[in-house]
Structure 1
C-alpha cells in the first residue's frame, strides 16, 4: 500500500509572516501544514498574492507568485468592465481562464522534480483547474465557495469566479465537505458526488481553559465579524433587553469591524450604553483566547454558517455558548447539554440571564462543551481522517 509522503496545497491564503491577516482558509492550511510536517510528511504550498514570497524549510516549500490581476493591470480593468456587461460574458470568462493558465505555468515550474503524492485545494475561485495537466490525484476541500456564499448567504460574487468553480467541480471527484449542512449546500449547487465529510478541527491544546483567568461578571462576548450576516444586531438587541434588568452587564464585540458598526454605535448611544459596550476589533488567536477567557457567556447569533469554527473554539475554551438555530450549529451544539440554542432575540436574552444566575448549569454546559470538541472536533481527529482519505485516494 502506498503511503503519503509529500502533499501539495494550492491556495490563495496561507498564514505566515508574509500573509498575516488571512481568512480562515489561510489559518487552516498553515495549521494543517504544521501537523503534517510534524508527522514527517513533506509539504509544498503554491498560490498567488499581492506580493510574491518564498518560504523554505527542511520539510516545507512555499511559493506565492504575484497575483495575476495585480501583475497585469490591463486584465484587471478588462475583468471589471466585462463583468458588468452581459454580452461580454464569454470574454469575462476567458479572462479568468488566462489567470488559470498563468498559475498553471508557474505551478509546473514550482513542482518540477518534486514527487508529489496528492494535491489539495480550496473550493473558492476554482483554483483546482490549474492541476488539469498533472497526473496527480487532487482533492477539493469546501471551505466556502463564492457559489455557496452567493446562493445561500446573499453575498455578491463575480460571474467569472462562479463559472470557474462550476468548471472545477465537474473535473474533480474527490471532495471534502466540512459539515453535513455544508455538504447539502455543495450538492445542491454542484450536483451529486462521492462527498467525504471531515469536520474542521480545533487545536484543543491551544484553545483550552486558562488557569487563573479572571471572569468579568455578567459579561457577554461576541466572536466574529461585526456584521448583519453574523447577527451583530441580534446580539446587541438581546443585550439591551438583558441590561434592563442586569445593570452591571457588559457586551464585548471581538471581530473585524464593518460599516454596520456606526449604526450599532448610534443605537448604543441612544440607549445610553456607551460605557457598557466594547468593540475590541479583530484580534489574533492569542488575544482571542485571553479575551474569551474572561467571558461569562459567548454568543453566536449568525444568520448562516457552513460549520462554526469560532463557536467550536469558544467551546474548547470551556465556555457556556449560546447560538442561533442553524443546521450547521446544531451539528456541534446539543441544546441544554453542551450549549444553548436560541430562535429569537427574546430567547437569546432569556438564555443569557439563565447562564448568569444558574452557575451549576452554566458550569455543566461549559465542561460538556469542551468534552464535545475533544471527542469530535479536535485537530488531531481532523488530521488523522485527512491522511486516511489521502491514503484511500492514492491507492485507488
Structure 2
C-alpha cells in the first residue's frame, strides 16, 4: 500500500466544486489501495466562519472512509478586503509549516493550486529528490485574478507570477483541469510532465423518466456559488422574463444583493431557494428544463466542473462563459451556448429554445455522452501509473 498525501484548501464538509473534486480524488485513490491522508484548513468556506463542530480547535484529526484528515488552524474570512484574504492564506501557510516540522510526510504529495501561496509554501518546504510533488491546477493564477478584476498589473502581480513560475518549476508532475492550463505551463516549461485531469464527478447516475411536455415558461436553474466570477446578480438584472422562470440555489458573496433584488422586483419571475446538499440538489435539478452556467468574464484556463456533473445527470445546459467550456458544450452537444458577456445574445438564444423539445430522449443522450466520455474511474486509472 503506497502512502500519498493531498494538500488542499477545500474539503468536505465544505461545499463547492473544489471540495468535491479533492474528495473524489482522495476517495478514488483510497479505493485503488493507496493509504491517503489529507491536509486542509478547519472548514470555513464559503461563510468565512469555522463550522460549529470544529470551533475552538487548533488542529482536528479524524479518519473518514479510511482517509486520515488533518484539519489545521486558519484565520478564516470571506472578506473582500485583500489584506484580510492575504492574512487568511498566510495563517494556513504557517499551520502547514508547523505540521511539516513535526510530522512524517509521504514521498508522494498532491498539492492543490490555487491558492498560489499555499502551493508555494508546500513546494518550498517539501521539495526533495526523494519526494514526488504533483501540482493539481484548477485555475490559472494570477491570470484569472486579472481577468476577474481582483488583481492589477503591478508589483504584487509580478510577485505572484514569480511564485507561479517557482511552483511549476519544482513540481515533478502538473495536473491541469483544462488543455489551456497545460498549454500555459508547457509554454513556460516545455519539458514539464503534464496530465489532463478533468473535474469528472463520481456518483450514481439517476434514472431519467419521461418528462411531461412543458406548457408554461421555460424553467431555468442556476445552482452553485453566488460569487463575483459567476455574475448571478447581473444575470438577474439582464434576463428577459417574458417566457422564462429563473430558479437559484446556492450561497456566496452576492447572496444578499440577489435576495434584495428579488424583493425589490416582485414582478420578475425569479425564485431563490437557498442552499441544498449536493445529494438533495441532484434530485431537485431534474425537474427543471435546463441549467445555466455563466461566467461574468471569459477566464483563460477555466472549465466549470458543472459541465461534467450536469451531463451525468442528463441535464441540458445553457453555457455563457466562453473558452474551452463552450467548446466542450458544442463538441458533445450538451445544450446551447451564448456569447460570453453578451446579454442580448443570451436572451436571443433563450427565446429560441422550445421547452417541449427538451424531453427524455435528449436527456438520455446527454447522459450517455457523459458515461462514454467523462468517466472519473477511467481517468484515475490512467493517472495512477504516473503517481
- CA deviation after TM superposition for structure 1 residue 178, in Å: 0.7
The equivalent of 1:41 in structure 2 is 34
Q: Measured at CA, do residues 292 and 58 of structure 1 come closer, stay the same or move farther in structure 2, by a change above 3 Å?
A: closer
Report deviation, 1:176. 0.6
**Which secondary structure state, in structure 2, belongs to the residue aligned with residue 155 of structure 1?**
coil
The TM-score, its normalising length taken from structure 2, stands at 0.76
SS at match of 2:354: helix
Q: 1 CA distance for matches of 2:373 and 2:350? A: 26
CA deviations on 1:259-286 (whole Å, 9 max, x unpaired) are: 475267447744722xx21112333201
Distance 2:212 2:14 in 1: 29
> For 1:119, what is the secondary structure of its paired residue?
strand
Match for 1:61 among 42, 64, 68?
A: 68
Corresponding residue of 1:250:
245
TM-score (norm 1): 0.74
Q: Once superposed, what is the RMSD of the aligned Cα atoms?
A: 3.6
Range 294-303 or range 195-204, more displaced: 195-204
Tell me: CA distance 1:214–1:13, structure 2 relative to 1, closer, same or farther (3 Å): farther
Q: Is the 8 A contact 2:208 2:314 kept in 1?
A: no
Q: What's 1:232 paired with? A: 232
Identify which of 343, 348, 356 aligns with 1:345. 343
Residue 308 of structure 1 aligns to a residue whose secondary structure is coil
CA distance in 1, matches of 2:252, 2:11: 22
Moved more, 249-258 or 134-143: 249-258
3-state SS of paired residue (2:33):
coil
> Which of 13, 20, 26 is equivalent to 1:27?
20
Cα distance in 2 for partners of 1:58, 1:99 equals 25
Structure with more relative contact order (C-alpha pairs < 8 Å, separation 6 or more): 1
Match of 2:366 among 355, 369, 390: 369
In structure 2, the CA distance between the partners of 1:324 and 1:53, relative to structure 1 (3 Å rule), is same
User: Structure 2: any 5+ residue segments left out of the alignment?
Assistant: 43-49, 51-56, 77-81
Partner of 2:45: none
**In 2, distance between residues paired with 1:8 and 1:336?**
35
Is this contact kept in 1: 2:250–2:275, CA < 8 A? yes
- The structure whose residues are more often helix, as a share, is 1
1:162 Cα deviation from its structure 2 partner: 6.0
Q: Write out per-residue CA displacement over residues 23-52 of structure 1, whole angstroms, 9 at most, x where no aligned residue.
A: 433222222212222223211222443642
Q: How does 1:1-396 map to 2 (within 5 A)?
A: 5-15=2-12, 20-49=13-42, 51=57, 52-56=59-63, 59-67=66-74, 80=83, 103-111=96-104, 116-124=106-114, 125=117, 126=119, 127-133=122-128, 135-144=130-139, 146-156=141-151, 164-186=163-185, 192=190, 193-205=192-204, 207-209=205-207, 218-233=218-233, 235-236=235-236, 239-240=239-240, 243-244=241-242, 246=243, 249-259=244-254, 261-262=256-257, 265-266=260-261, 269-270=264-265, 272-273=267-268, 276-302=269-295, 303-305=297-299, 306-324=302-320, 326-334=322-330, 337-343=333-339, 344-359=342-357, 363=360, 365-390=362-387
Q: CA shift at 1:191, angstroms?
A: 5.0
Count of matched residue pairs = 349
C-alpha change, 1:168 and 1:312, in structure 2 (3 Å) is same
Per-residue CA shift, 1:70-108, capped at 9, x if unaligned? 8xxxxxxxx959x8xxxxxxxx9xx96x97576244225
Counterpart-to-counterpart distance in 2, 1:336 and 1:144: 23
Residues in 1 aligned to 2:327 and 2:129: alpha-carbon distance in whole angstroms: 37
The CA distance in 2 between the partners of 1:146 and 1:46, in whole Å, is 21
Report Cα offsets for 1:273-318 as digits up to 9, x if no partner.
Answer: 2xx2111233320122122111111111213351111232222211
Cα distance in structure 1, aligned partners of 2:9 and 2:92: 13
Partners of 1:323 and 1:175 in 2: CA distance: 28
Contact 1:204/1:379 (<8 A) preserved: no
